[in-house]
Chain A
């Protein structure tokens, strides 16, 4: 393959990354190829040693997505970024269906279960406060009966908030660990190539 074919193919395969990133990668590759030619290597030889543009692009894309998700401080955006990075790792190496997708699904399932519990507690406490006001207005029960509902609301609301905070912290930690596993996985794949 000739230098220009390699560069053009790489450019095409990198689509999806920000333009500044693509330009920077292309600039580096062009510099390296022209330096290698100046050092006496043939164009064919040097381009062949760089491997397939498609493979290189996939690996660079996965790296970019993992790094971006890792740096993201907003949790929902980080979760979204992690899904993007997961996709890139699966495209890069199909064996990751086993090594990445499997553990990822198991962990996500557990997190979803935890968030469902939080949501159920929150909903229950809202229902209780509804009941409290309804009874207060329409039912002439003793004050004790009213307040038992109110205290149940306080208790469950508190539990829901506690769960919410805990789930937030756990989710944050899990995604941090997951992304550093993604990074390790990517470096492992690159070392085999």
Chain B
């Protein structure tokens, strides 16, 4: 059976199931869980960006009022690798008691040299972040075609260096867990997580207990964006404290800790060269890049693990390409997956230089994309989008907007693998006609609970109100982590399959040939005393991958103040068959708005002299707010034949590139560094000196790329974020 063509719920706007509990304050998040006798946990963090921790003395802290347990992060001696690295943790009867007692921990630490700037860290004389490894790693060159010849024959060649910043996830709910052990040494964790099963398995491994002895619960969680796949150091410390104190422990991070220690999107410096023939057809591409994933090294981003590499060339496929990407360690918090790992980074470099090339050749940016984009779907999206956006009327040659406030337009595309498989589900049907669907997935705010209900109501032909949905528990049939935009595509087919099995069983039990719709109640009455319990699982043919999407942006740039005002954004997005218009729209809005933050506001700032993060809070790390967000117009392509495809990530990929291109179009000058802040606009216009003399920046960049070029090419071939081109 495929998805039905005539639908009552599927593809309609269904308000989310958990809406009423969320708007009335009754939804229970991790920090709202309080088992009897619960203690509060907190972590002592390194105030040195690099140090040898020789000893940690907890005795004074343990003697303080209310303190019940203390643990060190690792057996001493150990190395602290960044400002914020975990040293020790305490649990006690009140949060204030624990915060007070943290100050009584005596740490004997030897400060070590550190480096927090990626361009400094590549220098051969830079302090090593990991003692036995160079800071700069990877860098195997990948070549296709005759690159030098292709550039020599190109009618136009553009070169540029494009930089992206370290971006933080900053979910409104910080990372945290409540952990409780029982007398049989079994543990229950109420975790704020994107994957209850992954967290269960990681707890099991790191605490050395069987998976069957760990239960992870996540009823509601306040966002993750890729940063909440594992229990984290805080989860394991909380579990150890709870075991030591023989009492439940709640360990929830502060916003300050959230800024330092739970992941981020890696930075990049991308030196790109692009060649085309006179018509604008791309013929040659060369990219060298370095970026920092923080204190970890040697991590590629295969599978979206959050390394510094990214897909290149992104989307477009010139025949001749040479790509060499390096990853450099610094003394700062490690990166991890962040919403479409690698892709917004890749998109910014590629889409920027493509527009620079279009400008040089005098070609319209939409036209050069229609000529070079290999995806038929995306090309159609550009056509549909250009029409709706009014591109032909709005576009003018770069820098030709009159007056002090310049207007510009830009566009960019996305390619995301999506996909998703493997979910299992269980349905219990009661003889009063109600039912309970159980799936071990979780709802990040994407509306997965509602997806389960919508699919079940549609397939069974019954009212949504009869269906209770239970998720977020490792005692339910397994489902994968919610990452890679895979949840809807993995869960929906499993629910459909289970519903079909329900109908088959019910047919047998009740003797009613078609128990759907108005026969449902009668069929259920014949179940008998014991409820019917039926399993099902994901199967092929109902969901797929390969989401595209393009976006258009219109901006105003005030050349006297550098202020950028977004006029409007258009997102054209496909996601196969639409399951729920309402939550789908919300996710696309969310992706665009996160992209606005990446384009204009957000950046982790490190102080090179002290190694300290300078903006670990919401006053100085700027998220987009209500005043910053323009009207967002969404054109959603319903493509039922493709089945269900996730949408959460593709919609954030092209936003910053489209905005950056619109700014370049307005000014006729490229600001090649994210976030594009007013000071960078004014520096680009020559109205104020830049933060760092440009000659110095380019000297530092050149030196970094010399180091990258010198890396042996024998290293394992770097994988770029896998198979994501469509």
Q: A and B from one assembly?
A: no
